Structure 1
Amino acid sequence: MEVLINFWQSTGLASLTMQAVIMIVLACTFLYLAIAKGYEPYLLIPIASGMLLVNLPVTGLMEEGGLFYYLYQGTKLGIYPPLIFLCVGASTDFGPLIANPKSIFLGAAAQFGIFFTFIGAFLLNDFIPGIHFTPQEAASVAIIGGADGPTALYLTSQLAPHILGAIAIAAYSYMALVPIIQPPIMKALTTEAERQVKMDQLRPVSKREKIIFPIVVIIFTVLLLPSAAALIGMLMLGNLIKESGVVPKLTSVLTDTFMYIITILLGLTVGATAKGEVFLTAQTLSIVVLGLVAFSVGTASGVLFGKLMYRLSGGKINPLIGSAGVSAVPMAARVSQKVGQSVNPANFLLMHAMGPNVAGVIGSAVAAGLLLNFFQ
C-alpha cells in the first residue's frame, strides 16, 4: 500500500489543479484551431504544445535545469524576436510599398490602435479595482495592436518580462484569428461601392530600388530612433540579403530552415510561460481583452484612413487595403483580397494590400522603438 501511495503521489494526477485543467483544455483548443481549421499552424502548434506541456504537473520543464528554462532564455533576453525579423525580411517583397509610397500612411494609421490602447490601459487603473498597469506594462499590452508577435515579445522582454506569457498568447492568438476578426470590421466601415473599387496596376520596381530601400530605411530609422535598431536592422538586413541576389543560399536558409527552427523555439517557450496560476488572473484576462481592442482599433483606423484616401483620390483607392496596415504579413493582405473579391470577383487587391502590410511591419517596429525610448 505504501508503494502504491508513493507512486500515486509521484504522478501528475495527484497534483492536477483546476487551473491546470483549464489551461490544458485551452491548449487543446488552440491545437484544434491550428490542425483542423488551419489557423496559423506554424505558430499555434508550438505555442499550444508548450502550453500543454508546462501545465501538466510535476514536469519541471520551466524550472531551473529544465529543458524549457534554457530555451526560454532566448525569448527572455530578446534574442529570438530580432532573428525572426531577419527571416521575415528575407521573405518580404517591399516592391509594392516602393511602387506606391502613399501606402506607408495606411501602415502608419493602423498603428493608432497601439496608442489608443496605451491610454485605455491607464483608464482601467481608475475604473476597475484590482487591475493596475504601470507605463511599461501598458506599453507592452498596447503593442499587441500592431499584430506583430516578434515585436510584441521584444518590447515586453525589455519593459515588462513578467507578463511576457500573457502578451505572447494574446498577440499570436489574434494574429492567427485575423481572418475571423478583420472582415466584420472592414464590412461595417465600408460601403459595397467602396469594396468594389478596382485599383490600377502597380508600376514595376527595379532591382536597384529594392537594394537601396533597406539601406536607406536602416540609416534613416536608426539615426532617428536608435532604440528600434534591433528590429528594423534585422528586418532590413534580411531584405538586403534577399534583394542583393548574390547570396541565394543565405536567403534559402533564412526563409526556410532557420526561420522554422526559431519559430519552434519561440513558440514552445512562449506557450510554456502560460501556466495556469499566472495566466488565469484578472490582470492577465484584461491583457487579452485589451489586446483584442488594440487589434480591432488598429484595423478600423487603417480602414478609415483608407476611406479618406479613397475620397482624396477620387475613388481610385479601395479602402479595404487599409486593414492590411496591421503587420500580420501576409495574412492581413490576403483578407483584404478575399473581402474585396467577395463583392467583385474580378478585383485583385493582394499586391496593393501588401504595400500597407509591409509598411505595418516597419510601423510596428518604429512604434516599439518609440515606447522603448520613452519607458525603458
Structure 2
Amino acid sequence: MAIIQSFLDTLAQLAQESGFAGFFADGGWKNIIMILISFVFMYLAVAKGFEPLLLLPISFGMLLTNLPFAEMYHPEFWNYVDDFKEDAGTVNDHYIDYQRILEHGGLLDILYMGVKLQIYPPLIFLGIGAMTDFGPLIASPKSFLLGAAAQGGIFFTFVGAAILNMSAADCASIAIIGGADGPTSIYVSSKLLTTNSANSVGTIALAAYTYMALVPIIQPPIMKALTTKKERSVVMGQLRPVSRLEKLIFPVLVTLIIALMIPSAAPLVGMLMFGNLLKESGCCDRLVKTAQNELMNIITIFLGVTVGATTQADKVISLDFGKVMLLGVVAFSLGTACGILLGKLMYVVSGGKINPLIGSAGVSAVPMAARISQKVGQEEVPTNYLLMHAMGPNVAGVIGSAVAAGVLLAIVK
C-alpha cells in the first residue's frame, strides 16, 4: 500500500507541476488566449505571407513564453536594479543585473540580451546595407527630402501620444512604428522600455511588422485620396548612371555627416553604411555573402524569437496594446501622407515633372513601398515605370528612420 500511495503522490505532484495545471491557476486563461493569438500570427505568416521571416519567429516566441512553468523567459529579471554608490558624490545608478540572468536565466533570457544590449538590430542593418543599392538615391538626391518628409508621421505621433499623457518612453517607442522599419522599432523600444513600462518590445514589434505587412492595403487609398489623376499619370524620365566612385564615397560620407550631427543614430546608420561599403567595394564577396545570408538569417531567428518572448499576456491583453495598434497605424498613415504631400509640392516646383506617388515610398518598407508606388502609377498609365524613381525615397527612408530613432533617443534619454 505504501508503494501505491507513494506512486499516487508522485503522479499528483507531477500533475501539479505540469503546464496544464498552470492554465487553471490565477490568470491562466490569459496564457491560453496568448497561445491562441500566437496561432493566429503563425497563420498570417505562413498562409498569408505577412512578413514571415520575422512574424513566424515572433509568434513562436510568443507561444514559448506563454507556456506555464516553461521558465524560458523571466520578465522580472529585466527590471532595473537601484545600486546606491558613493564616489565623488552620491548617485543612484540604475542597471540590469546581467550576472543574475547569465546564472539563472532561461534560454530566451540569454538570447534576449542581444536585443537589450542593442546588438541584433545594428547587425540586421549590416545585412540590409549589404543588400541595398543606393544608386537611385545618389542619382536623384532630392529623394532625400521625400525620405525625410515621410518621417513626419513619427514626430506627429510622438506629440499626439504625449498629449494622451503617455510616458516619454512609450511615446517614442510607439511613434517610431511610423517609420515602417521593424529593426529600428525594436532598437528604440529595447533601449527605452522596461518590464515596468505599459508596453513591451514585443508589442511594439508586433504592431510594426503588422503594418509593414499591410502596406499594400494601407497605402493605396491614401495615395489616391491625396493625388489627382493628372499627378498620378506623370511619366518620369530615366535616372542618370551612377559611377562606382560615387557609390564608394556615399556610405562613408553619410556615416560621417549623420554620426557627427546625431551621435545616437551612429549604431544603426554606421552598420547600414558599412554593409553597403562592403557590397560596393567589390573586394569583399565572402563578407558580403555572409552579411546577406548566414549572419542575417541567424540574427533574424534570434531577434524574432526573443522579441516574441516579451509578449506576455498582461502586455497584449490590455488597453495599452490597443493604443499601440491605433497610434501605430496613425503614425504609418501620416508618414505616407507627409511623403505624398511633399511630392505634390515638388510636382508643382518642377513644373509637373515629378510624380507625387513616389513620396509614399519614403517610409522604410523596402522594397514593398516602392512597388506600391509603381503599381498605383501603372493603374493610370500602364507603361509608366516608377519603381527606380520610388527606390530613391525608399532607401532614403531607411536612413531617415535610423536618424529619427537617433533623434527620439536623444530627446527621451
TM-score after normalising by structure 2: 0.86
1:125-136 map, 5 Å: 125=165, 133-136=166-169
Shift of 1:309: 1.3
In structure 1, the residue matched to 2:380 is: 343
2:347–2:356: 8 Å Cα contact kept in structure 1? yes
CA 1:275–1:195 in 2, change beyond 3 Å: closer, same or farther? Answer: same
* DSSP-derived class of the 1:58 partner: coil
- 1:330 aligned partner, one-letter code: P
Identity of aligned residues (%): 61
Instruction: Give CA deviations for 1:231-259 in whole Å, capped at 9, x if unaligned.
Output: 11111111101001011111111111111
1:239-278 map, 5 Å: 239-278=276-315
1:140-289 map, 5 Å: 140-162=173-195, 163-289=200-326
Mean alpha-carbon deviation: is it higher for 359-368 or for 32-41? 32-41
Shift of 1:152: 1.4
Q: Does 1:56 align with 2:89?
A: no
Shift of 1:297: 0.7
2:278–2:288: 8 Å Cα contact kept in structure 1? yes
2:173–2:192: 8 Å Cα contact kept in structure 1? yes
In structure 1, the residue matched to 2:92 is: none
Instruction: Give CA deviations for 1:254-307 in whole Å, capped at 9, x if unaligned.
Output: 111111111111011111110112222222321221111111111111111111
In structure 2, the residue matched to 1:130 is: none
Q: Does 1:353 align with 2:360?
A: no
Q: Does 1:80 align with 2:125?
A: no
* DSSP-derived class of the 1:208 partner: helix
Shift of 1:4: 4.7
Shift of 1:3: 4.8
Taking the aligned partners of 1:185 and 1:29, their CA distance within structure 2 comes to 28
Taking the aligned partners of 1:90 and 1:135, their CA distance within structure 2 comes to 34
Mean alpha-carbon deviation: is it higher for 273-282 or for 337-346? 337-346
The correspondence for 1:108, drawn from 116, 127, 148, is 148
The correspondence for 1:8, drawn from 15, 22, 25, is 15
Instruction: Give CA deviations for 1:1-36 in whole Å, capped at 9, x if unaligned.
Output: 545543432332222223222222222221112111
In structure 1, the residue matched to 2:96 is: none
- 2:130 aligned partner, one-letter code: A
1:76–1:161: 8 Å Cα contact kept in structure 2? no
Mean alpha-carbon deviation: is it higher for 79-88 or for 158-167? 158-167
Instruction: Give CA deviations for 1:324-345 in whole Å, capped at 9, x if unaligned.
Output: 1011111111121222223322
Instruction: Give CA deviations for 1:208-245 in whole Å, capped at 9, x if unaligned.
Output: 00000001101111111111111111111111010010
Taking the aligned partners of 2:392 and 2:168, their CA distance within structure 1 comes to 32
* DSSP-derived class of the 2:65 partner: helix
2:233–2:355: 8 Å Cα contact kept in structure 1? yes
Taking the aligned partners of 1:334 and 1:19, their CA distance within structure 2 comes to 40
In structure 2, the residue matched to 1:20 is: 31
Q: Does 1:31 align with 2:64?
A: no
- 2:41 aligned partner, one-letter code: F
2:50–2:210: 8 Å Cα contact kept in structure 1? no
Taking the aligned partners of 1:299 and 1:244, their CA distance within structure 2 comes to 33
Taking the aligned partners of 1:189 and 1:4, their CA distance within structure 2 comes to 67
Q: Which has the higher contact order (CA 8 A, sep 6+)?
A: 1
Taking the aligned partners of 2:11 and 2:224, their CA distance within structure 1 comes to 61
RMSD: 1.5
Taking the aligned partners of 2:214 and 2:62, their CA distance within structure 1 comes to 18
Shift of 1:375: 1.9
Q: Does 1:298 align with 2:335?
A: yes
Taking the aligned partners of 1:292 and 1:140, their CA distance within structure 2 comes to 13
Taking the aligned partners of 1:12 and 1:300, their CA distance within structure 2 comes to 48
- 1:253 aligned partner, one-letter code: T
Unaligned runs of 5+ in 2: 1-7, 75-103
Mean alpha-carbon deviation: is it higher for 20-29 or for 101-110? 20-29
2:340–2:359: 8 Å Cα contact kept in structure 1? yes
1:241–1:247: 8 Å Cα contact kept in structure 2? yes
Structure showing greater Rg: 2
* DSSP-derived class of the 2:164 partner: helix
Taking the aligned partners of 2:249 and 2:194, their CA distance within structure 1 comes to 36
Taking the aligned partners of 1:365 and 1:197, their CA distance within structure 2 comes to 31
Taking the aligned partners of 1:21 and 1:305, their CA distance within structure 2 comes to 47
Unaligned runs of 5+ in 1: 126-132
2:363–2:398: 8 Å Cα contact kept in structure 1? yes
* DSSP-derived class of the 2:48 partner: coil
Mean alpha-carbon deviation: is it higher for 193-202 or for 350-359? 193-202
Taking the aligned partners of 2:408 and 2:295, their CA distance within structure 1 comes to 29
